[in-house]
Amino acid sequence: MVIYVIRHGETDWNTKHWLQGTTDIPLNRNGIEVAEITSEALKGIPFDVIFSSPLKRAYQTAEIMKRERQIPLIVDERLKEISFGCFEGLCCTGPNYNIPDPDFPNFFQNPAHYNPPEGGESIAELCVRGTDFLTWLIDRPEYQDKTVLISAHGALVKALLSSLLITDLKDFWKGGVHKNCAVSIIDVEHGTASVRQENVIYYDKTRSINYFE
């Protein structure tokens, strides 16, 4: 099994550094175009199935990646982004920062000590959800010899990879937040998974900035 994992394309909330979480924001024009460039770069990959978060920005990215392939596109709730609860829609960096919790920067700077806001989800809970999906996928006999694409989100993608790349929650963001439409590849042989590449983009890097979500 070969698993390609892509983060969704850019949204208007990304450009403003507003926390999206489970808020359902669509791709913007740049996000659509970058997804199309990435789709063209991977047009020769023989995907057999696509799994996507139900949120618009990831599902739109999955549809663009699908192209003319006559393959299933399956929505899975486990691929949703981490929930920021009552902080969704607030700005998490720069001069417009307006998150009322002085400890919120732990989300990026000290994830082992991040405490989610009301209605939010912890990074540990997210990792359990991501690992559950990846383990389920690897164990499914019908996908053992398939090439799979997963379309998801910044923190969720890191959670998918966490069980393969990190041993301590403090290292959750090691390597940084993946760029929009960045692609990672997981190889699975005899039930053992390993990361072949992480956070690779196929478009001009000037079209991306350092997003936090």
Catalytic annotation, residues: 8, 81
Task: Using the structure block, give the residue that is written with the tokens 């929505």.
Answer: 75
With 0-12 / 13-18 / 19 or more C-beta atoms within 10 angstroms meaning exposed / middle / buried, residue 24 is: exposed
Find, among 6, 97, 106, 96, the residue nearest to 47 by Cα: 6
The alpha helices in 3-115, defined as continuous H runs, are 12-16, 29-41, 56-66, 106-109
Number of neighbouring beta carbons within 10 Å of residue 44: 6
Q: What are the residues whose beta carbons fall under 8 Å from the beta carbon of 70, sequence distance 6 or more?
A: none
* Residue count (the chain): 213
Outline where DSSP puts E strands in 20-145: 49-52, 73-75
Rg of the Cα atoms in the chain: 16
The whole-angstrom separation of Cα 105 and Cα 163 is 23
The whole-angstrom separation of Cα 3 and Cα 148 is 5
